[in-house]
C-alpha cells in the first residue's frame, strides 16, 4: 500500500468514512499517519517492523482508522502472535470489537489455529458485536451467496485450513460477508462477523 499513499489519502479525504480497515499495509516507522489519513481520524497501526510484531521483514502490517467522533481504543491484550490488531468502539453502552488481520501466504496452520483460538477468546469474553476484516489467504474455499441474507456460504474446504476456519465460524456463530474477489476470482479478503453486514464495492 505504501506505493499508493497519495491515492489512499485522496480517497479518504474525499469521503466521510466512520471506520477504515487496512491489511498488508507495508508501513513502517518512517511513514506518518498524516500521510494516509487526515485529521478527522484516530489511527491505530501494527506495522510488521514495530516492536508489537516480531517478524522484522518487509511487507505485512495492519491498520485501523476511526473517526474521532467515535470513542475507540486499542486492545493490546487481545493481540496474538499473528499479524492482528484489535480496536474497541464504544457507542454508549454498546461495544464493537474490530479486528484487522493479515495471514500471509503460504498459510501456516499454526498461525491460523492460533488466530482462531485467540479470536474465540475475545468473542467469548468481551464485546457485543465483532467485525473481523482480514486477508486469510484461504485460496481453496469457494464462497457462494446465501439465500437467507447477504452472507456467503463456504464450500470446497476439505483441507486442514478450510476445516479450521469453517469450524471457527460455526463455533462462534459467525457469518462471512465479503464478496470481493481478486484478479483470479478468489475471495481472500474475508469479513467474519456476528452481526449483519452489507458490503459492496
pLDDT tens figures, 121-160: 999 887 889 999 999 999 999 999 998 889 999 999 889 9
- pLDDT, the chain, mean: 90
Contact 192, 132 (CB under 8 A): yes
Taking only the tens place, the pLDDT of each residue in 56-108 is: 566 789 999 999 999 999 999 999 989 999 999 999 999 999 999 999 888 98
pLDDT at 4: 82
Residue 55 has pLDDT above 60, yes or no: no
> Among residues of the chain, what percentage have pLDDT more than 70?
92
Measure the CA–CA gap between 167 and 57, rounded to whole angstroms. Answer: 31
Contact 43, 22 (CB under 8 A): no
- Domains and their CATH numbers in the chain: 2-193 (3.60.10.10)
DSSP 17-52: -SEEEEES----TTS-GGGTS-TTEEEEEE-TTSTT
Peptide linkage before 106 cis (omega within 30 of 0): yes
Contact 101, 22 (CB under 8 A): no
Measure the CA–CA gap between 73 and 66, rounded to whole angstroms. Answer: 9
Helices (H) and strands (E) in the chain, counts: 3, 12
Q: Mean of the pLDDT values across residues 45-59?
A: 69
Closest by CA to 96, choosing from 122, 121, 57, 76, is 122
pLDDT at 14: 95
144 Cβ partners below 8 Å, 6+ apart?
152, 153, 155
Residue 1 has pLDDT above 70, yes or no: no
Q: What single-letter DSSP state applies at residue 149?
A: S
Residue 54 has pLDDT above 80, yes or no: no
- Grid coordinates representing 113 are 489455529
Measure the CA–CA gap between 193 and 151, rounded to whole angstroms. Answer: 10
Contact 99, 128 (CB under 8 A): no
Amino acid at each position: 500500500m505504501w506505493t499508493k499513499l497519495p491515492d489512499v489519502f485522496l480517497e479518504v479525504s474525499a469521503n466521510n468514512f466512520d471506520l477504515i480497515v487496512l491489511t498488508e499495509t507495508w508501513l513502517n516507522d518512517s511513514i506518518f499517519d498524516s500521510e494516509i489519513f487526515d485529521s478527522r481520524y484516530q489511527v491505530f497501526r501494527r506495522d510488521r517492523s514495530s516492536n508489537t510484531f516480531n517478524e522484522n521483514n518487509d511487507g505485512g502490517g495492519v491498520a485501523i482508522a476511526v473517526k474521532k467522533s467515535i470513542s475507540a481504543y486499542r486492545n493490546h491484550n487481545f493481540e496474538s502472535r499473528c499479524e492482528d490488531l484489535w480496536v474497541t468502539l464504544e457507542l454508549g453502552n454498546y461495544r464493537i470489537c474490530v479486528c484487522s488481520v493479515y495471514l500471509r501466504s503460504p498459510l501456516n496452520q499454526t498461525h491460523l489455529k492460533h488466530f482462531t483460538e485467540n479470536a474465540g477468546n475475545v468473542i467469548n469474553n468481551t464485546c457485543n458485536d465483532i467485525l473481523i476484516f482480514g486477508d486469510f489467504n484461504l485460496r481453496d474455499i469457494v464462497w457462494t451467496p446465501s439465500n437467507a441474507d447477504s452472507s456467503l456460504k463456504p464450500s470446497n474446504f476439505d483441507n486442514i485450513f478450510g476445516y479450521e476456519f469453517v469450524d471457527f465460524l460455526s463455533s462462534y456463530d459467525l457469518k462471512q460477508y465479503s464478496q470481493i474477489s481478486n484478479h483470479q476470482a478468489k475471495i481472500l479478503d474475508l469479513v467474519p462477523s456476528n452481526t449483519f453486514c452489507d458490503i459492496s464495492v
